[in-house]
Amino acid sequence: MSVAELKERHMAATQTVNDLREKLKQKRLQLLDTDVSGYAKTQGKTPVTFGPTDLVCCRILQGHTGKVYSLDWTPEKNRIVSASQDGRLIVWNALTSQKTHAIKLPCAWVMTCAFSPSGQSVACGGLDSACSIFNLNSPIDKDGIHPVSRMLSGHKGYVSSCQYVPDEDTHLITSSGDQTCVLWDITTGLRTSVFGGEFQSGHTADVSSVSISSSNPKLFVSGSCDTTARLWDTRVASRAQRTFHGHESDVTTVKFFPDGNRFGTGSDDGSCRLFDIRTGHQLQVYNQPHGDGDIPHVTSIAFSISGRLLFVGYSNGDCYVWDTLLAKVVLNLGSVQNSHEGRISCLGLSADGSALCTGSWDTNLKIWAFGGHRSVI
């Protein structure tokens, strides 16, 4: 068979796949007779309301000299780790704003960081294509450098995201620009499972984000530049359990809903979406209100402890608080006092849901706490 014939058959097969995908999309749309907000409105639900003192900036964490790219809270709620383009990880006491650790990284081009469930170690990764683990209890050397306790090497592209498996300090999942996700055994430094890559059901472009279900740690979702999100079971690495379509551009961030049955996505198309992992259906789209200009990209998302609120960071410095039930913006932290002066690159909620931390290209992190009459939602 000639090269021309192979190309022709490949083009025909690609067209068939695209036609089937479009038919599937239309079939799904026929089944979706309503969305979450449409149903909630018929039940007489009203949006959450926020007063001027209900979510206020109570701490500004200053210390980085470069853009902040990633942050994570410890499970015990009062410590935060942040990663910056200045080539350092900083561990903060969120209650006092004090720095407890400042770790100089082997590679300055860091993209992600994570706290272990015990809070005893932190992980980070970036353009060095490796994930570095630091034990916070290890003594620094004579040059003041914090030693790397474990280097997880094996990806063939940059490490875009990392997260420890809940309640385990020994296992971690990373996503990468090599189109794969990897489950690591930190004790041995070896890959336990690789998700995607050579397998047909894997992502077809860079994987940008992962989120592990807290209710079932065997399940995780990944978001990719191929515009899809995929659900994986760590016990079956050979294929994705489901593939979720809907976004029109790179999926930059994914996050499980608190109940573990749904997850949210954020994309460069400017929208966030809520999916159900049991049915595979899209439940809601959160399109930001905008004019005719460029639509800001979504950079990071987090759900409140009940799931009623969705916090979304955007590339233009806005940080919207959405009512997930009614798909309404109830507050924009980018327009209040003490807002960031640059792109919101990352955000995260404390374990008890009482505080939100945002990180920005303005080099600062800010902690926002619920106040006034507003209790934790």
Q: Is pLDDT at 372 greater than 60 in this prediction? A: no
Q: Are residues 16 and 77 in the same domain?
A: no
From 128, 193, 183, 190, select the one nearest 157 (Cα to Cα).
Answer: 128
Per-residue model confidence (pLDDT) at position 376 = 58
Q: Are residues 172 and 187 in the same domain?
A: yes
- 376 part of a folded domain: no
Q: What is the rounded CA–CA span in Å between residue 264 and residue 283? A: 10
Average pLDDT over residues 294-307: 95
CA 195 to chain centre: 18
Q: Are residues 14 and 49 in the same domain?
A: no
Instruction: Judge residue 335's burial from the number of C-beta atoms within 10 Å of its C-beta, 0-12 exposed, 13-18 middle, 19 or more buried.
Output: exposed
Q: Are residues 152 and 277 in the same domain?
A: yes
Q: Which residue has the tokens 């990806």?
A: 155
Number of domains forming the structure of the chain: 2
Q: Is pLDDT at 34 greater than 90 in this prediction? A: no
Lowest mean pLDDT, pick from 5-19, 222-236, 241-255, 304-318? 5-19
Q: What is the rounded CA–CA span in Å between residue 265 and residue 60? A: 27
Q: Is pLDDT at 17 greater than 90 in this prediction? A: no
- 375 part of a folded domain: no
* pLDDT tens-digit readout, 316-333: 999 999 999 999 999 999
Q: Is pLDDT at 60 greater than 60 in this prediction? A: yes
* pLDDT tens-digit readout, 215-238: 999 999 999 999 999 999 999 998
Q: Provide the CATH number for the domain around residue 325.
A: 2.130.10.10
Strand order in the sheet with 319-323: 298-303, 309-314, 319-323, 328-332
Quote the strand ranges of 30-167, DSSP E: 55-61, 68-73, 79-84, 88-93, 99-104, 110-115, 121-126, 130-135, 150-153, 159-164
Q: Are residues 303 and 195 in the same domain?
A: yes
Q: Are residues 101 and 88 in the same domain?
A: yes
- 377 part of a folded domain: no
* pLDDT tens-digit readout, 122-174: 999 999 999 999 999 988 877 778 899 999 999 999 999 999 999 999 999 99
DSSP run (H or E) holding 357:
strand 355-360
Q: Is pLDDT at 350 greater than 90 in this prediction? A: yes
Domain that holds residue 153: 35-370
Q: Are residues 27 and 55 in the same domain?
A: no
Q: Is pLDDT at 181 greater than 60 in this prediction? A: yes
Q: What is the rounded CA–CA span in Å between residue 63 and residue 364? A: 7
Q: Are residues 19 and 40 in the same domain?
A: no
Per-residue model confidence (pLDDT) at position 132 = 96
CA 31 to chain centre: 29
Share of the chain above pLDDT 70, in %: 96
Q: Are residues 278 and 186 in the same domain?
A: yes
Per-residue model confidence (pLDDT) at position 375 = 57
Q: Are residues 310 and 341 in the same domain?
A: yes
- 213 part of a folded domain: yes
Q: Are residues 309 and 166 in the same domain?
A: yes
Per-residue model confidence (pLDDT) at position 252 = 97
Average pLDDT over residues 10-38: 81
Per-residue model confidence (pLDDT) at position 362 = 94
Average pLDDT, the chain: 91
Per-residue model confidence (pLDDT) at position 199 = 64
Q: Are residues 49 and 26 in the same domain?
A: no
Per-residue model confidence (pLDDT) at position 374 = 52
